[in-house]
Amino acid sequence: MRLLKLVSFLAFALGITFVVISAFRGEISVGFILFFPFIYGEGFYAAIGVILIFISILLFVIGLFNFEKHNVFHIEEKPVGDEKNRQVEGGGILLIGPIPIVIGSNWKIVLILISLAVAIVIITFLLSLNLAFAK
């Protein structure tokens, strides 16, 4: 299962790398429908990048539903003395077009994710301007 996640991550990173290379070569164009950005391209690097990103998403979803090694529906009762006091904190960013929605379990995580979301939106906007006026 960890190998599948690692392969998925590597395929995604390699796909993004190929998409960036194709952007620098001028093989990718950027567009907007309403306020949703999209990219389309032609050429070897753009095609390989999109295929690798699609494969990485597919592998990630397969990894989520891989229940063979452990049964997630099995409830195991533990004695009260063996329970550890664990606190898990996390957060996430949902980008709907240029609008970031940030969810977090504490304020430090939320502030970090807000700054990350703003940086992603600004970088995406600058890249779309650069690609739009490159021709």
Where are the domains positioned within the chain? 1-76, 90-135
Average pLDDT, the chain: 81
pLDDT bracket for residue 117 (50, 70, 90): very high
pLDDT at 124: 86
pLDDT digits (tens, 9 = 90+) for 60-78: 888 777 655 555 455 555 5
Q: Which residues contact 112 (CB under 8 A, 6 or more apart)?
A: 91
pLDDT of 134 higher than 90:
no
C-alpha distance from residue 127 to each of 41, 92, 99 (Å): 15, 23, 17
Q: Which residues contact 88 (CB under 8 A, 6 or more apart)?
A: 105
Q: Which residue has the higher pLDDT, 85 or 42?
A: 42
At position 26, the amino acid (one-letter code) is G
Q: Which residues contact 62 (CB under 8 A, 6 or more apart)?
A: 4
Per-residue tokens: 52: 């690798």
Question: What is d(CA 32, CA 19) in angstroms, rounded to the nearest whole number?
Answer: 18
Contact (Cβ atoms closer than 8 angstroms) between residue 51 and residue 15: yes
- E-assigned strands of 1-135? 28-33, 36-41, 91-96, 99-104
Question: What is d(CA 90, CA 103) in angstroms, rounded to the nearest whole number?
Answer: 8
Residue range 74-88: average pLDDT?
62
pLDDT at 11: 93
pLDDT at 78: 58
Residue range 37-54: average pLDDT?
88
The pTM of this model reads: 0.49
